[in-house]
Structure 1
Amino acid sequence: MGPIGADTLGMVSMTHEDADLLADCAAAVLARHQPRTWRHALDDRWHYVLPDDHRSREQGWKLHVPATPLSACLVLSRAVEVLARHRCAFKFAVTMRRLHELVGPNADRKAAGKFVTAYPDDDDHARVVAEALHRATLGLPGQWILTDRRYRQHSQVFYRYGGFTPPTVLTDDGEYRAMLRAPDGSVVPDKRAVGQVAPSWAVDPFQDEVAPSTVAESVLVGGRFTVRSAIRQNNRGGVYLAEDADGTRLVLKRFREHTGAGVDGTDSRTRARAEARLLSILGPSGSSPGFLDIFTSGTDIFVAQQWVDGVPLRRFVARELRPRGTALALDTDLALDLTRQLVDLLDRVHAAGYVLGDLTPNNVLVTADRRLVLIDLESALRPTDVAARLLTPGYAAPEDEGRSRMIAADPDRATDLYSLGATLFYLVSGAHPPASQGTGLREMVRLMARRNPVAARLGPVVTGLLAPEPAARPSLAEVRTALAEPSPPTGAVTSGAAADVGELVDEMLADIVSTATPERGWLWRNSETASRYDPCSVHVGAPGVLLVLSQAARAGHAEVLDTVDVAARWTMRRLGDEPRVLPGLMFGRAGTAVSLYEAGALLGADDVSAAGLDLARTLPTQWHVPDVFHGVAGAGLALVRLWRHTGDDDLLARARQCADALLAGAEEGPRWTAKGDFLLAGTTHWGFAHGVAGIATFLLDIAAATGDGRYLAVVGQAAEALAGAAILDGDAAFWPSGEDDSQADTVRLTGFCSGATGVGTFLLRLHQLTGHPAARALAEAAATAVHHGGWTAPPLWCHGLATDGDFLLDCAALPALDPSTTTAPQPSTSAASVSHGGPGSSHSPGDPGSSSATHTAAACTATHTAPTGVPSHGGRSAGHSTAPRGSALDPAATTLPTQRATTPLAPATHTHRSTAADPAIRGATATTPSLRRGAAEIPPAHRGTATDPATRYRAWAEDTAQVIAARAVRRRGRLLTPDDTGDVVASFANGYAGTLSFLLRLHHGGARPLLPSYAKDSVLA
């Protein structure tokens, strides 16, 4: 963001001990230069300083001056003296903590090292300021800025051409991208990439002064090592695959000067020497890669170490999770073996006199014979060492999180014990510990132990190691003793989580009401990443929170009605700020239209509802992105929903245009591929957000609304394709993303965007409209997978627990099965050949590696079942199979009565009954799938004699709520749920509002926001 954008930013409170250090330093210098003629603004990253007579411009040559935490005050005071004297606008890192992030080993390379940024008025001004800054800061320490060109040899001034207050373009992804304006008036992206200092048409004003170009570094380094490829690159340097002179494969790690710097003058190169020492100690035993060499090249240090062929423990655990008990878990014996190895590795580190400092599943490799090897040892310290801290959120001990990251002295082995416990938490659950330390971490382990056999076995060890007080953590010897003892009893777990869920609802609502800022550019504060997106989208913006506030008001929370009005009118005012209208339900304006209309109906505010309808009529109905979240299927879902509210046939006609566009763009399968300038362009997906399940949900909805068999035909094909992609394990069904079908047997996803929740959401609605039992069976198998995988997701709506819980509540509306109709399927001699009225065809028989004996379709296997155990045909490993492919649903035999539009939502009513789900539709007939395979036993979970769905799935949804409550943290004095990074924001998809929506449904009933509902007791959300 350029300096002018700072005018709209509010002040951010600083609580860290150095919060005012840099500001005070700058203020002291400015006091000598007419201090009242400067304007200041702060956000959570930058302190902006602008002269009162500053002339704003879109773009130009920026100047950057780096610093280390040790040199920061001196660099800043000298830079501000120059900038004040020359009346140049500038910004600097708002705190020492922010500077620590900028020089950190994993800092974003686009921003890394940029401590002070100057914005000259023009090229002549830039030349004068650059020379003065060069003279003032020459010799002071600071890292090389990767995206910039050096002003002069040995200079600490760097420069590049970029935006000051640049024009922005809303991309197909719904993200604002800063642009540069070319001389011909066209705009191009301001990429800020390494090596791209300026566009070709920008004339370098420093060409006479610029440092000589550095000759490209030879691939031969250290006189003996040939670099073959980069494994990864970061601000610290990089990790490279290389070869020794004799052809031996090895790993080279580069440590750049002044990166990872601390206030003591140490930097990443200090860490390089420490890693080399520890490698030489641990390598001979195989506990780490073997040490080969350490050498200097220029100002950087390289460490050469042996290559270890393995995968990170993080990836290994994700790959090995299987349904065990009623959860996704590792094999218990395997988990115990990995735990013992981790204890042994940590013991060897401590015996060598080191504290490891950063034990995580990413820093441990698993070899083909399942042996563990420690890697990335630069965090290791001896008790006498002093260096900048390297911490991984969620894995660092509370006492480390509470200390300054500028310095680490007298490292304590107890911090490694906590990190061991956090790593075992991942081993047990498949989920990273919450990045934000909460009081519920050990409670989460106890909850897991109820249905996860590995958590039951290792739970006492994990909870002990995660003790908040260092002295309370067991020693490694005590952990070994506990592992050698017989399995502890798995008694009932008592929890106050049910009460916590009610507290969560009240405190989330109170936080939303109290933190709204209608005078700001965002109605509710968002994360740094999310703030690059449209503030009028449902996914991260005000309309998403508005949806939930309206839901709460209809459920009886009258205290939020004023905020509903504020959010609706703020959104209406801001709509015109962005002329480009994207069609997506979440990242476009489709969900926004629904949110406004339904808020207006609630408030009795015709102007608000009209704004929603007007917006809906501007949604593109043909688009190069087909999916729900970003594309035309999302527009279609919104248009059908609004037609049901209003009876406006123009909206239904527009929805049909969306559906026709999707039919025209369908590929064989059917699959849909996004095109254009889109992050997922060229890919296909199975899931709801970006793929077949979501698109098929819209086509099913439009088929129900219009009775058009063309749409239903493609829905049938989609059901077949999704069943063919399913990974069946016992009575659970998982799905891969669909990007790489070769990974279908190893990548088991349970989420909404990709996985069982999203696919199950479609299948359940297919069953509700057609009565098709096979669709129900596979939907219930998806629900079982979701229940198994409940601990692997964050407490969010997007890819999180909230949508898992929503799906389980949908399943709870299923009627109980009649045991007399629950029979095993009869074998068939051939699959039905179905000619569908839409594009594409069913999958070809069989999967690579399987026999040619396949099953028909969408459903799964049996009339009410997902198969159990070893499949009857060859080519699949024991314990799971791929769902059969063929014809599941003959569209010609299925008739969906046209659904009539409902009456409009009544204002100020707390429940709105939908007549959209006509009982006649629920009784519609569909063909029963025929199967080539022999009869399969119906899993107990799906028998007619099993627990009533209303009881079973409601209980599973309540389990999900307990997991959410256990992950809550205290912020602003309230109990709230964090995002993936540990931050707490109110937005719908990446914050706590979407989670609140699920909890409201759990307490008060109702349907899911934005999605069609055909259950007989559905309530419009």
Structure 2
Amino acid sequence: MTLEDADLLADCAAAVLDRHQPRTWRHAVDDRWHYVLPDDHRSREQGWKLHVPATPLSACLVLSRSVEVLARHRCAFKFAVTMRRLHELVGPNADRKAAGKFVTAYPDDDDHARVVAEALHRATLGLPGQWILTDRRYRQHSQVFYRYGGFTPPTVLTDDGEYRAMLRAPDGSVVPDKRAVGQVAPSWAVDPFQDDVTPSTVAESVLVGGRFTVRSAIRQNNRGGVYLAEDADGTRLVLKRFREHTGAGVDGTDSRTRARAEARLLSILGPSGSSPGFLDIFTSGTDIFVAQQWVDGVPLRRFVARELRPRGTALALDTDLALDLTRRLVDLLGEVHAAGYVLGDLTPNNVLVTADRRLVLIDLESALRPTDVAARLLTPGYAAPEDEGRSRMIAADPDQATDLYSLGATLFYLVSGAHPPASQGTRLREMVRLMARRNPVAARLGSVVTGLLAPEPAARPSLAEVRTALAEPAPVDAAVDVAGVGELVDEMLADIVGTATPERGWLWRNSETASRYDPCSVHVGAPGVLLVLSQAARAGHAEVLDTVDLAARWTMRRLGDEPRVLPGLMFGRAGTAVSLYEAGALLGADDISAAGLSLARTLPTEWHVPDVFHGVAGAGLALVRLWRHTGDDELLVRARRCADALLAGAEEGPQWTAKGDFLLAGTTHWGFAHGVAGIATFLLDIAAATGDGRYLAMVGQAAEALAGAAILDGDAAFWPSGEDDSQADTVRLTGFCSGATGVGTFLLRLHQLTGHPAARALAEAAATAVHHGAWTAPPLWCHGLATDGDFLLDCATLSAIDPATSAASRSHGTGATHTAPTGTSARPAASSHGTDRPADRGVAHSTAPHGSALDPATRATAATSLPTQRATAPLDPASRAATATTPRRGTSADPATRYRTWAEDTAQVIAARAVRRRGRLLTPDDTGDVVASFANGYAGTLSFLLRLHHGGARPLLPSYARDSVLA
């Protein structure tokens, strides 16, 4: 038996089933659940489910008694597959829809449900387990809960590209199975357990503890919640609720134990202002509440993100500010340690920064005294390796050395603006050394951070030694050992080839969240990986050709599983059509190419979602691309319908608002994925293909709007998302989905087609922002480093072709401004389309017209001067001079060399973040997991590395430069 007790629950269930005709039960196991079904079980769509909670300490007894009842009554059921899974279900931050549901029973009908519920109630009465938030309690004090929901429900593909479980109403229609707190059953489902169920109501305010009035929820989770409240005299305060049996461990402790610990430390730190002041602790029902003073401040995480500015060649804090915050953090931790406590969970989310820049510790429930023995509450990336290596269910002696590591991880965030990746070990220290080459704060604090991040507790400096090091800075060790691009490419390709599972529902394993989406979409499904495999094969990696064929044919077989066709490039089927066509052309497999073209002809050309990732602009990009491949005018006609729909739906700005059952419905965006930059890129592409001035006129308006929204700082340009205008000047984004990379991608193509110098100048300012922000982005394609690197390679390609018009070339060492004279005429567009591989690799090359050159009149429409500066941050020689630094890597007067170097720097950051999984170096997703998907896995990252290593153009996006090729 391991410390994780992997087989404990299965063994417990099996021991009981052995007494009940064990050969008449079928078992199925996945990553989360162990299913047990009678041989004669008849599955049904929906009904009343029964849930029985447990704690890690009571799990075996609860399971044993539950299985005895369920076996006796021949009822299908499932239970948490391991103790680790149960620990997740009872955790403070467990998904409230699933929290506490240790055992789930699926009765055959309502009569069966009544019999089984009563038997389970009698068998488990008095055993510990949390209240299940989405359910109704069977009886007072019962440990049986129930709700109406799907057993094997019908699913519907939503406008977001996500599958949603549905319930079938008596009239045959389907409605969402919401599984929300307080929504136990749809209105038409009759409760079989209680005759009179009074609907619950939500009061505008609640009085608790006899004196505190709850006004609103700041946040809610499985543990309870944090509430804004008022005392009897009207004083504003914070009230924290700790629910019984949540956060339970094998030592018998739960969240209420943590409440008492927090109250003790608040009473110690509050008088000095190092924490909120303690007001009261009291019990209400079975839960504990802690009342504490309200502190007006922002989390350190948000404060750092707001204060990052271009410094050196990186986004960084002001060095004096960073040093001041570091000293204050050290003093705070010193006060905790002097009181005899281990803080236990120091992160940028658990420190508030007040208006006068005083630091205040919050959320102190993880604090323990060295004499306490309890299971640890950990934040991945901020927990010391010795804690990460332990099971969270196993109690451990608190050690103040773990706080030193968490201090180092918090300083890592202070230095970089990025959360430290989980489970990196000594690689975090190499990352700090690498960023110190360009980041002045990392250079100043790097030796302190790397010392605190030592994997061995004894090697970490004491707080006194940290204070000395802050006063007497030491140089950062410059030695960095990261993988080369070629090594990463080979290992990623080998992993993709070696981990395909064509017999399963997903060709490559995906995260739990991603698995709710369409497996035939580019974003998370097989077609996205197929795009990259085709790219690799065209670059000469013949070892992947069999997997190209496998992925293409797997996708073809699965297309018919979902009759609804969404138009988006990433979440719909537009990118899928391109992926199949190009794979078929590569392989010389006409049936695969034909499948891609057939799919393209079914894409909607009018849709209530306008954007690229989910909507009609994505369909348009795919149709124009396929038209260029084939010369099939039907595809171009369909693309024009997409463009006409976008012109008709444009609002003042221009802006486009999504409608319908869509997560972003009612919002507008500037970025590429969901907003103006992506839509304008398609309109530019269709204008190039047709010469239609209507499309180009709208492109010009979009470019002016994007230029007006830019946030300029020195020679860098950032963009807000566009969702919240009140945050526009403080939220500086550099990503592809929202931010500089996506907007710059459009502006660069605008210049390529029209010769517009102001568009290029702003695109290059975006490139500077992207280069500065490399450490703030994850190693992904979506909102990450891969698309940043792709954009920088695009800049290098254009600069190599046409260096004379490069704003960076003109301004380097000259002080010339980025703006172009009003009315500057556009040069004739030099547009060329081909393939990004030698002709003998087998991709068919059409002799059809590859896009119409824009005539002088339409070019002039887009050549009007774009506003490229805001009054608060003019992009002029003086502002650039203010941020000038000594010569550095990538500042060659040759802009093509500069952007290529910046792309190589991006690859180094990616390599530094790689982790070893399955014996191979791979890049993790946002959660630390490693999956092969295109947008949120490592396949999209591999696509950029292939371009850097072998050349070629970006998958899916148009390219117009003379020597670039059709990706």
| Fold shared by both chains (TM-score > 0.5) | yes
Give the Å deviation of 1:728: 0.4
Q: In 2, Cα distance between the equivalents of 1:652 and 1:903?
A: 42
Give the Å deviation of 1:427: 0.3
Q: In 1, Cα distance between the equivalents of 2:192 and 2:20?
A: 28
3-state SS in 2 of match to 1:882: coil
**Residues 720, 885 of structure 1: 8 Å contact kept:** no
Query: CA distance change for structure 1 residues 636 and 926 in 2, over 3 Å: closer, same or farther?
Result: farther
1:320 equivalent in structure 2: 307
**Residues 669, 841 of structure 1: 8 Å contact kept:** no
**Residues 20, 95 of structure 1: 8 Å contact kept:** yes
Q: In 2, Cα distance between the equivalents of 1:828 and 1:1005?
A: 23
Q: In 2, Cα distance between the equivalents of 1:1015 and 1:830?
A: 14
1:718 equivalent in structure 2: 702
Query: CA distance change for structure 1 residues 459 and 866 in 2, over 3 Å: closer, same or farther?
Result: farther
Q: For each residue in 1:439-486, what CA deviation from the matched residue of structure 2 results, as whole angstroms up to 9, or x when unmatched?
A: 421111001000100000000011111111111111111100000114
The more displaced of 201-210 and 976-985 is: 201-210
Give the Å deviation of 1:877: 57
Query: CA distance change for structure 1 residues 623 and 486 in 2, over 3 Å: closer, same or farther?
Result: same
Give the Å deviation of 1:922: 29
**Residues 483, 912 of structure 2: 8 Å contact kept:** no
**Residues 450, 490 of structure 1: 8 Å contact kept:** no
Q: In 1, Cα distance between the equivalents of 2:694 and 2:886?
A: 20
**Residues 51, 145 of structure 2: 8 Å contact kept:** yes
**Residues 585, 844 of structure 2: 8 Å contact kept:** no
**Residues 705, 899 of structure 1: 8 Å contact kept:** no
Residue 866 in 1 paired to residue 820 in 2? yes
Aligned length: 946
Q: In 1, Cα distance between the equivalents of 2:357 and 2:314?
A: 23
The more displaced of 212-221 and 540-549 is: 212-221
* Alignment counterpart, residue 554 of structure 1, candidates 518, 538, 551: 538
**Residues 483, 911 of structure 2: 8 Å contact kept:** no
Give the Å deviation of 1:214: 10
Q: For each residue in 1:648-690, what CA deviation from the matched residue of structure 2 results, as whole angstroms up to 9, or x when unmatched?
A: 0000000000000000000111100000000000000000000
Query: CA distance change for structure 1 residues 568 and 179 in 2, over 3 Å: closer, same or farther?
Result: same
Query: CA distance change for structure 1 residues 570 and 885 in 2, over 3 Å: closer, same or farther?
Result: closer
2:471 equivalent in structure 1: 484
Query: CA distance change for structure 1 residues 679 and 211 in 2, over 3 Å: closer, same or farther?
Result: closer
3-state SS in 2 of match to 1:813: helix
Where structure 2 has 5 or more consecutive residues not aligned to the other structure, the ranges are: 824-831, 835-840, 857-861
**Residues 834, 887 of structure 1: 8 Å contact kept:** no
Give the Å deviation of 1:410: 1.2
Q: In 1, Cα distance between the equivalents of 2:554 and 2:874?
A: 24
What RMSD, in angstroms, separates the aligned Cα atoms of the two structures? 8.9
Give the Å deviation of 1:275: 0.3
Q: In 2, Cα distance between the equivalents of 1:583 and 1:112?
A: 35
**Residues 242, 287 of structure 2: 8 Å contact kept:** yes
Q: In 2, Cα distance between the equivalents of 1:1015 and 1:470?
A: 54
Q: In 1, Cα distance between the equivalents of 2:844 and 2:462?
A: 38
**Residues 329, 428 of structure 1: 8 Å contact kept:** yes
The more displaced of 595-604 and 32-41 is: 32-41
The more displaced of 882-891 and 1008-1017 is: 882-891
Give the Å deviation of 1:406: 1.2
Give the Å deviation of 1:771: 1.2
Q: In 1, Cα distance between the equivalents of 2:881 and 2:648?
A: 30
* Alignment counterpart, residue 893 of structure 2, candidates 906, 926, 947: 947
Give the Å deviation of 1:492: 8.1
Give the Å deviation of 1:504: 1.2
Query: CA distance change for structure 1 residues 868 and 481 in 2, over 3 Å: closer, same or farther?
Result: farther
Q: In 2, Cα distance between the equivalents of 1:540 and 1:466?
A: 34
Give the Å deviation of 1:731: 0.3
Q: In 1, Cα distance between the equivalents of 2:844 and 2:304?
A: 17
Give the Å deviation of 1:772: 1.1
3-state SS in 2 of match to 1:518: coil
1:957 equivalent in structure 2: 903
Give the Å deviation of 1:34: 1.0
**Residues 608, 659 of structure 2: 8 Å contact kept:** yes
Query: CA distance change for structure 1 residues 540 and 237 in 2, over 3 Å: closer, same or farther?
Result: same
3-state SS in 2 of match to 1:878: coil
Give the Å deviation of 1:712: 0.3
Query: CA distance change for structure 1 residues 265 and 649 in 2, over 3 Å: closer, same or farther?
Result: same
Residue 566 in 1 paired to residue 531 in 2? no
* Alignment counterpart, residue 493 of structure 2, candidates 509, 516, 520: 509
2:807 equivalent in structure 1: 831
1:990 equivalent in structure 2: 936
Give the Å deviation of 1:388: 2.8
Q: In 2, Cα distance between the equivalents of 1:110 and 1:215?
A: 19
**Residues 808, 895 of structure 2: 8 Å contact kept:** no
Q: In 2, Cα distance between the equivalents of 1:690 and 1:948?
A: 34
Query: CA distance change for structure 1 residues 324 and 302 in 2, over 3 Å: closer, same or farther?
Result: same
**Residues 387, 409 of structure 1: 8 Å contact kept:** yes
Q: In 1, Cα distance between the equivalents of 2:897 and 2:9?
A: 59
Residue 921 in 1 paired to residue 879 in 2? yes
Q: In 2, Cα distance between the equivalents of 1:828 and 1:107?
A: 57
Q: For each residue in 1:890-915, what CA deviation from the matched residue of structure 2 results, as whole angstroms up to 9, or x when unmatched?
A: 9976999999999999xxxxxxxxxx
Q: For each residue in 1:416-447, what CA deviation from the matched residue of structure 2 results, as whole angstroms up to 9, or x when unmatched?
A: 11100000000000000012435421111001
Q: For each residue in 1:593-619, what CA deviation from the matched residue of structure 2 results, as whole angstroms up to 9, or x when unmatched?
A: 000000000000000000000000000
Query: CA distance change for structure 1 residues 878 and 312 in 2, over 3 Å: closer, same or farther?
Result: farther
Query: CA distance change for structure 1 residues 835 and 617 in 2, over 3 Å: closer, same or farther?
Result: farther
Give the Å deviation of 1:386: 2.3
Query: CA distance change for structure 1 residues 439 and 488 in 2, over 3 Å: closer, same or farther?
Result: closer
Question: TM-score scaled to structure 2, two decimals?
Answer: 0.91
Q: In 1, Cα distance between the equivalents of 2:893 and 2:814?
A: 41
**Residues 545, 988 of structure 1: 8 Å contact kept:** yes
Query: CA distance change for structure 1 residues 731 and 831 in 2, over 3 Å: closer, same or farther?
Result: closer
Q: How does 1:685-724 map to 2 (within 5 A)?
A: 685-724=669-708
Query: CA distance change for structure 1 residues 131 and 841 in 2, over 3 Å: closer, same or farther?
Result: farther
**Residues 770, 921 of structure 1: 8 Å contact kept:** no
Q: For each residue in 1:730-756, what CA deviation from the matched residue of structure 2 results, as whole angstroms up to 9, or x when unmatched?
A: 000000001122222111000000000
Query: CA distance change for structure 1 residues 422 and 716 in 2, over 3 Å: closer, same or farther?
Result: same
Give the Å deviation of 1:500: 3.1
Q: In 2, Cα distance between the equivalents of 1:828 and 1:594?
A: 35
Give the Å deviation of 1:573: 0.3
Q: For each residue in 1:839-884, what CA deviation from the matched residue of structure 2 results, as whole angstroms up to 9, or x when unmatched?
A: 99999xxxxxxxxxxxxxxxxxxxxx59999xx999x999999999
The more displaced of 74-83 and 890-899 is: 890-899
3-state SS in 1 of match to 2:413: helix
Give the Å deviation of 1:246: 1.0
Q: In 1, Cα distance between the equivalents of 2:497 and 2:697?
A: 46
Q: Percent identity?
A: 95
**Residues 538, 586 of structure 1: 8 Å contact kept:** yes
1:588 equivalent in structure 2: 572
**Residues 505, 996 of structure 1: 8 Å contact kept:** yes
The more displaced of 888-897 and 680-689 is: 888-897
Q: For each residue in 1:926-949, what CA deviation from the matched residue of structure 2 results, as whole angstroms up to 9, or x when unmatched?
A: 9999xxxxxxxxxxxxx9996212
Give the Å deviation of 1:1019: 2.7
Query: CA distance change for structure 1 residues 830 and 331 in 2, over 3 Å: closer, same or farther?
Result: closer
Give the Å deviation of 1:65: 0.1
Give the Å deviation of 1:372: 0.4
Q: For each residue in 1:613-666, what CA deviation from the matched residue of structure 2 results, as whole angstroms up to 9, or x when unmatched?
A: 000000000000000000000000000000000000000000000000000000
Q: For each residue in 1:921-972, what CA deviation from the matched residue of structure 2 results, as whole angstroms up to 9, or x when unmatched?
A: 999999999xxxxxxxxxxxxx999621221011111111111111111111
Q: How does 1:143-162 map to 2 (within 5 A)?
A: 143-162=130-149
Query: CA distance change for structure 1 residues 883 and 204 in 2, over 3 Å: closer, same or farther?
Result: farther
Give the Å deviation of 1:793: 0.6
**Residues 134, 184 of structure 2: 8 Å contact kept:** yes
**Residues 890, 901 of structure 2: 8 Å contact kept:** no
Query: CA distance change for structure 1 residues 816 and 596 in 2, over 3 Å: closer, same or farther?
Result: closer
Q: For each residue in 1:27-79, what CA deviation from the matched residue of structure 2 results, as whole angstroms up to 9, or x when unmatched?
A: 11111111111111111111111111110100000000000000000000000
Query: CA distance change for structure 1 residues 878 and 144 in 2, over 3 Å: closer, same or farther?
Result: farther
Give the Å deviation of 1:770: 1.0
**Residues 611, 675 of structure 2: 8 Å contact kept:** yes
Question: TM-score scaled to structure 1, two decimals?
Answer: 0.86
